[in-house]
Chain A
Amino acid sequence: MATLNQLVIGASIGAVLLLIALGLTFTFGQMGVINMAHGEFIMAGAYTAYLLQPLVGTQSVLVALPVAFAVAGVLGLILERLAIRHFYGRPLDTLLLTWGISLILQQVARDIFGAPNVQVRAPGWLTGGLDLGGVRLPYNRVFIMVLAVGCVVAIWLYLTRMRHGRRMRAVMQNRQLAAVSGVATERVDQLTFFIGSGLAGVAGVALTLIGPVGPTLGTNYIVDAFLVVVAGGLGQLRGAVIAAFALGILNSFVEFWVDNGASFAKVVVFAVIIAFLQLRPQGMFVVRTRALS
């Protein structure tokens, strides 16, 4: 039974990682940039929920979801326009550039909201949980999983059924060809950045349900989210989904089973990913091309 409880915890962490990793995998896959400031969009989403709380009241989480999406999305768009777009195809340089921006954003949050963590109260219907013969399903964790599944379905529909989404896939697979076919690649890039950053904001709201909000909220998750991208394959929706849940669940099981496991969990996850890369160096799913590497 404890095993199943751990599964729920792991899956909900995996759901958060998935929301974060989706934005990363698309921006990395499409534009070849690594956005370390992505973690700060999570933080922005979480603080949005905190700020809405006194205005909206107990149901603030529901209102916060779309607002946080917009806030984080606009932040991402600003970042893309001002800095990142000059760095397309230079992942290592963007990594350092956006790390600097992430430091600044964290300090801005510290100056505005103070260094101590703040708390967002969950609405009544998200507290408590369901008991299924000894297995406890906390409502907040179930809500996060439902949220992640909803977002993935929406992204999938967007990518496969909508014109904008198909353009995005086209640019991701072959930018030049897409451009000569009349796709306004720069517009597509902006939209991708907006959606990816917005999802990080949604992840931030989800995180307020399971813990306190602080200026370094994002950094705690960004490294794991990057590992999801590495293991899942670049720009791959399926890969991100599988890798995120696998990573979240593995993490929570190691923490639970091994004595003093919390300190070993990350090491085990790291070793598993290195081992996995021996089998599939480019991640779970790869777009096949004739290119050399």
Chain B
Amino acid sequence: MTGAVATVPDRTAGPGPAPLSRSRRLAGPALFVAVGLLLVAVAPAVLSPFRLDLLGKYLCYAIVAVGIGLAWGRGGMLTLGQGVFFGLGGYAMGMHLKLREAGPGGLPDFMVWSGVESLPALWRPFANPVFALAMVVLLPVTVAVLLGLLVFRQRVRGAYFAVLSQALAAAFVILLVGQQGLTGGTNGLTNFQMFYGLDLYQPGDKRFLYLVVVAVLGTMFLLAWQLSRSRFGQLLVAVRDGEDRVRFLGYEPAVVKTIAFAVSAGMAGIAGALFVPMVGLLSPANLGIVASLELLIGVAIGGRFSLAGAVGGALLVNYAKTIFSEESADNWIYLQGAMFVIVMIWAPRGLAGLAADARAAVRHRRRPPSRSVAAPIPSGTPSANGSAPPGSADPVDPARPVDDARPADQIEPTGVPAVAAQRGEEPA
């Protein structure tokens, strides 16, 4: 928060009485600590080993959600192929665990079944635990950097990028399924016994693994939070809201976007690597188009512009999936479809957005009536004197897009002037 962004009004320095702003400043860390304590101390004591495993799985998805929140919420890059990065990390880890199990010179079980006689060259380096751990992050990051640079430098963005990332997920899954002898095909990698010295069939060791997942999620969350508070984060939001303007200011938006995309890919890779020992299997069904969109819906429901919302949404959606799938898989599909529709029509900013609106409404009511200028201003209409409505959140709150994730390059059939007025004009 130095230098160029010094002129940006602090979130807490906005309108509102001082004590309230102080409590709001502490609300975030307090929530973080509370949720952390709940996950570390309460959950393992209360939940059965089976439920704790499920919670661990949801937390793996939540790590992916943090990355999506960064790339999509802050960077405006709708990645429909996050399953690819999740899978790259997961397979890197899974391959190492399979080799460990087979012992030196041995073959993983599925290779024996599909008639492979010697270990493929691609697998060999994964016997090294350090190499495997490095690959968990490096593979997804490399793919993301390559794709990002190739695509963003050509100013391919918005919906085009979404479509391409989805095509990548489709191609990746077909490749995995087709290479039966190399990847285990449709079944994927299964039957993991040990994970870096932990016996995955021992509840005690499994509980430790769960704590590792919680710790990683916490670290990733703080990383993403710090990143989006930093100058880089401000730049990322600026690129999302006006890529060309940022270019005119002398930055290269492609690099900014690629970094954010690569970080989110790395997070997905780490999540995949933890998913493998936590759940005990990884198959193409966990990575395809449908799975990638399932990773996304949690973020959309929780609120794409809020990292905490993304985590909460991921937990909520996966919990709902377990509950509903236990009854009937069909109902879950209906519910999932309905969730996409409802969120997009009535709450594009998700639960976090609804919560923010509710807070703003409460604050607004507490305020003296002289502030009644804050009559709700129809979206797209600039207020008479050009100032932001005082009742709403701060005008440059990074969690609130100036325009709802609409890429600047798209043809704008309706309301172009309104959008232009809404988009860059900060109050003087």
Contact = CB atoms under 8 A, between A and B. Distances in A.
Contacts of B336: 100, 103
A91 B158 contact: yes
Given A89-B412, A95-B78, A226-B163, A270 B168 contact: yes
B330 A107 contact: yes
Nearest to A110: B330
B333 A103 contact: yes
Interface string B96-127: 00000000000000000000000000000000
Interface in A222-268: 223-224, 226-227, 229-230, 234, 260, 262-267
Contacts of B155: 281, 293
Contact of B175 (A103, A263, A278): A263
Interface in B144-160: 147, 150-151, 154-156, 158-160
Contacts of A274: 147, 150-151, 164
Contacts of B411: 29, 32, 89, 175, 234
Contacts of B171: 266-267, 269-270
Contacts of B174: 262-263, 265-267
Contact of B405 (A30, A92, A263): A92
B168 A96 contact: no
Given A29-B411, A96-B344, A264 B300 contact: no
A96 B300 contact: yes
A267 B178 CA distance: 12
B348 A93 contact: yes
A30 B413 contact: yes
A90 B163 contact: no
A17 interface: no
A262 B409 contact: no
Contacts of A86: 345
A52 interface: no
Contacts of B361: none
Nearest to B408: A293
A270 B334 contact: no
Interface in B387-411: 404-411
A185 B340 CA distance: 28
Contacts of A277: 150-151, 154, 156
Q: Point out which of B150, B244, B339 has the most chain A C-beta atoms below 10 A from its C-beta.
A: B150
Contact of A100 (B168, B244, B338, B406): B338
Contact of B414 (A91, A103, A175, A234): A175
A92 B345 contact: no
B340 A230 contact: no
Interface in B280-305: 289, 293, 296-297, 300
Interface string B297-329: 100100000000000000000000000000000
A51 interface: no
Nearest to A104: B337
Interface string A114-127: 00000000000000
Contact of A88 (B151, B164, B413): B413
A287 B344 CA distance: 30
A101 interface: yes
Contacts of A278: 150, 154
Given A223-B166, A226-B167, A270-B167, A96 B339 contact: no
A100 B337 contact: yes
Contacts of B177: 263
A285 B177 CA distance: 35
Interface string B343-356: 11100100000000
A281 B150 CA distance: 10
Interface string A202-224: 00000000000000000100011
B416 interface: yes
A223 B416 CA distance: 30
A50 interface: no
A90 B168 CA distance: 22
A113 B130 CA distance: 51
Contacts of A95: 78, 80, 159, 162
Contact of A281 (B156, B345, B404, B416): B156
Contacts of A262: 174, 178
A102 B336 CA distance: 11
A60 to B, nearest CB: 30
Contact of B160 (A83, A87, A111, A230): A230
B227 interface: no
B372 interface: no
A106 interface: yes
Nearest to A225: B163
A38 to B, nearest CB: 12
11 contacts: A28-B159, A88-B414, A91-B159, A95-B78, A104-B341, A175-B413, A223-B167, A223-B289, A226-B167, A227-B164, A263-B174
The 3 A-B residue pairs with the shortest CB-CB distance in the complex, in nearest-first order = A263-B178, A100-B340, A103-B337
Given A95-B78, A97-B345, A227-B164, 12 more contacts: A28-B159, A34-B163, A92-B407, A96-B344, A99-B293, A103-B340, A176-B416, A219-B289, A223-B163, A226-B167, A263-B174, A270-B167
Interface of A: 28-32, 34, 83, 86-97, 99-104, 106-107, 110-111, 171, 175-176, 185, 219, 223-224, 226-227, 229-230, 234, 260, 262-267, 269-270, 273-274, 277-278, 281, 292-293
